[in-house]
A and B are shown apart, each in its own frame.
Chain A
Amino acid sequence: MRVFLACTNSVGDKKNIKNSKYILESFFSGEKNCFNALKNCGVNNFLLDSGAFSYMSGAKCTKEILLEYLDKYIAFINKYDVKYFFELDVDTIFGIDFVEEMRNKLEKETGKQCIPVWHKGRGIEYWKKMVKEYKYIAIGGLVFHVKKQEWPLIKKMVDYAYSNGVKVHGLGFTKTKILEKENWKFYSIDSSSWLASASRGQKLQVFKKCCIQNVDMDKRKTKAIISKMADFNFLEWCKYQKYMDKKKW
């Protein structure tokens, strides 16, 4: 399983980035960051997220503005011959019809299939359609919209795609303990948890017993240096990435 590390532009000591074999970067973070990430891991190990949802959340956005964003996204993909890139999955804002319209344009103008992103709102039949038409698909909303009791359903969906020879990316799937215990057949996942844990929770993470574990620190005794903690977490995730890279089904 490929574990893509996201937000690598936030790694403090840039030398450390080379430790990550697979990198995901959001187009929302800017072309320069995307180019740097691509340069660090190479086109075969690079995933480009559209970042459209973040773009939409940040500003009062219209379809016209989003289409301009799409044009820039397409230009970047073509300029650097990006192999794996996600669609602009803004279903909840503009609806699936507009998402499909943008997907068609994206695929037509890049000459490549994108990675469509399934959200709960699309329904099961749409998942089946994606499995039928694509070789690499993704599940989004795993962080905020999928409830614990829905995990078995998502697992069934992943198994279904796997048995049809379709690769599935789990967007933001950071539940490493579950991955170790339950034989999830994701082809790839991504995580920025190495950064979020350090900057939001001031938590250290270690690769231990085949998964990532949080280490509680006594904040009264430890003066947290967030950038150093983030770099430490990043390197631990790189170890996990290496471990998971050997896991194949």
Chain B
Amino acid sequence: MSLLKIVYKNIDEIHPYKYNPRNNTNSINEVKESIEKYGFKVPIIIDTKGVIICGHTRYEASKKLELKQIPCVIANDLSENEIKAFRLVDNKVAEFSRWDYEKLKEEISKINDDFITKLKFIEELDISDDDFVADTEITKEKVKNALVCPKCGERIV
């Protein structure tokens, strides 16, 4: 296995893949904030023409951050077909991972970082009992919608 070589490319030499089927719009701001906070730690993978294979969100976040250069790895050992496949596989494989919530909660408890809170690893439950319809209202409605016997007038809920 050859060693990975990280090269710094000017941002205008890098191009998003026109047919990228992944919509990353919702995560650009979070990735931007992550780069701002912790630095650019994961290089973008591009082909020999500078077209992105993996890292479209990091690229969009870099543009927002007005970075001039981005760390890249050039995948010059892959065929066109392998590049297309890897582009999909790299996104898909992440979906198979799951959180271990016990460990996650324990780890979060050890970290003092606003960004962690902002990312809402643990959902907050911002609803109250008043948001629910009281059972008495449901009963009233049931009575309203009850069948009425045409002979004796009895209501069947």
Contacts and interface: CB of A to CB of B under 8 A. Distances in A.
A101 B150 CA distance: 47
How would you classify the secondary structure of chain B's contact residues: helix, strand, loop or mixed? loop
Interface string A120-156: 1101100110000000000000000101011001001
B135 interface: yes
B113 interface: no
B98 A163 contact: no
Interface stretch (B29-37, B49-57, B119-127): B119-127
Nearest to A144: B138
A165 B104 contact: yes
Nearest to B126: A156
B138 A145 contact: yes
Contact of A163 (B122, B126, B131, B133): B122
B132 A120 contact: yes
Interface residues of B, number: 22
B132 A150 contact: yes
B82 interface: no
Interface string B97-129: 011111011000000000000001111111111
Given A164-B101, A164-B105, A248-B98, A147 B125 contact: no
Interface in A136-190: 145, 147, 149-150, 153, 156-157, 159-160, 162-166
A160 B107 CA distance: 18
Contact of B135 (A127, A128, A145, A248): A145
A145 B127 CA distance: 18
A127 B127 CA distance: 11
A205 B102 CA distance: 40
B132 A153 contact: yes
Given A120-B132, A163-B121, A164-B122, A153 B127 contact: yes
A100 B132 CA distance: 23
Contact of A147 (B101, B120, B122, B133): B133
Nearest to B141: A147
B133 A156 contact: no
How would you classify the secondary structure of chain A's contact residues: helix, strand, loop or mixed? helix
Contacts of A160: 123-125
Contacts of A153: 127, 131-132
Given A165-B101, A165-B102, A165-B105, A124 B129 contact: yes
Contact of A124 (B101, B120, B125): B125
A226 B127 CA distance: 44
B128 to A, nearest CB: 6
A162 to B, nearest CB: 8
A128 B125 contact: yes
11 contacts: A120-B132, A121-B135, A124-B129, A150-B131, A150-B132, A150-B133, A153-B132, A163-B121, A164-B101, A164-B123, A165-B104
Interface of A: 120-121, 123-124, 127-128, 145, 147, 149-150, 153, 156-157, 159-160, 162-166, 248-249
Interface of B: 98-102, 104-105, 120-129, 131-133, 135, 138
Given A120-B135, A145-B135, A153-B127, 13 more contacts: A124-B125, A145-B138, A147-B138, A150-B131, A156-B123, A160-B124, A162-B123, A163-B122, A164-B122, A164-B123, A165-B102, A166-B101, A249-B98
Those 10 A-B pairs whose CB atoms lie nearest each other, nearest first:
A165-B101, A163-B123, A160-B125, A160-B123, A123-B129, A147-B133, A163-B122, A159-B123, A153-B127, A153-B131
